[in-house]
Amino acid sequence: MNKRPPKNGEIRQKIQNTLLVDGNALFKSGYFGAKGEYNYKGEHIGGIYQFLTMVRKLLTENMYHKVYVFWDGNFSGKLRYEIYSPYKSSRGKDYLNGTQPIDEDELRERRVVMQYLEELFIRQLKHEVVESDDFIAYYCLNKKQNEKITICTNDTDMAQLISEDVRIYFLRLKNYVDNVNFSSYFCYHLENAALVKSMVGDNSDSIKGIKSLGEDTLVKHFPELKERKVSLTQIIERAKEIQKERAEQKKKPLAVLDNIINRVTDSVLGDKIYEINYKLVDLKNPFMTKDSERELELLIEGDLDPNGRSIKNVLSYMEKDGLRKLIGETRYENYLIPFKELITRETKTI
């Protein structure tokens, strides 16, 4: 006897939708984007409101079975710093030794956000030396076969993780980027994301690239970067061909192409720039420790203990923190509905 074909609803049940949030990126975006929002006690609350509201927006736009927020630890970046000492030096010379001055308002507000997330059954992880994007990368590389992932971040490095099953909501773009519309937002092919970063560097992480080379210049001289996956060897060989053609036409060589060929950079890495830079930016090989892998696996496989967690607690926090005025009276009663739906999905298996 032939089995009936599965109904649409049954097919959808097999797919697990997961939301991975770059906690530091989202918090910073909200904290500085709503810098003037304070409660009646004079405490800044813009970061709390913006963080929760963005997660709420994402929950409203898609049904997620689980939500994870990953935070940078006190010494996150240390693993990269050990192979490239200027890493994240733009954040201050004391960033990686834990003595950088701390904004007390920001620290307090971040703790409050984490408290809200605990009550809302949102899974969180923070590790002393592992960065949030490495956790996200590791998760994506080890995702379940039936899992669809959305990443929320501002970090364009994570574009490397986009695939048929992984998309990114970029906070600055205010839009989802996937393997179909990637070329509408980036000037290179998806498969070349790590290569481009390794050549041009990353100012946000103080990673120096080839001297005088930016993304637009790179793609201008090597348009194949927009069309298909390209290797570093192919880029260098093509640069040599272009210089040879210019010499035959009695044109001056292009300095930037000589820089690519000869690895000319202001970086401390010298002629090792390509190899080390690629290792720094390659999220297909995230910087993880054995204990961080175990912690993540336990977080993924474990159930969240419902004891002590409550929507009533969240409402109490919201009143205490003065969020009602930001949410508005007309939306206040319905504000937590998307979170309640997530809690139902998280707790139904317990």
At 331 the pLDDT is 87
Using the CB atoms, write b or e for 150-181: b if 16+ within 10 Å: bbbbbbbbbbbbbeebbbbbbbeeeebbeeee
At 238 the pLDDT is 98
At 10 the pLDDT is 47
- What residues have CB less than 8 Å from 30, skipping those under 6 apart? 46, 47, 48, 49, 50, 51, 53, 54
Give the pLDDT confidence of 58-87 residue by residue, as tens digits.
999 999 999 999 999 989 999 999 999 999
pLDDT band at 1, cuts 50/70/90? very low
213 neighbors 260 (Cβ within 8 angstroms) = yes
- Longest Cα–Cα distance of the chain, Å, equals 78
Domains of the chain: 15-187+284-347 (3.40.50.1010), 190-281 (1.10.150)
Residue 216: Cβ-neighbour burial (10 angstroms; 0-12, 13-18, 19+): exposed
At 234 the pLDDT is 98
Q: Would you say residue 100 has pLDDT above 60?
A: no
318 neighbors 339 (Cβ within 8 angstroms) = no
What is the average pLDDT across 40-62?
Answer: 95
Q: How large is the C-alpha radius of gyration of the chain?
A: 23
Give the pLDDT confidence of 160-209 residue by residue, as tens digits.
999 999 999 999 999 999 999 999 999 999 999 999 999 999 998 999 99
Other Cβ atoms within 10 Å of 222 Cβ, number: 21
Least confident of 94-103, 138-147, 182-191: 94-103
At 105 the pLDDT is 82
At 63 the pLDDT is 95
150 neighbors 165 (Cβ within 8 angstroms) = no
**DSSP state, 69?**
E
Give the pLDDT confidence of 211-234 residue by residue, as tens digits.
999 999 999 999 999 999 999 999
Q: Would you say residue 33 has pLDDT above 80?
A: yes
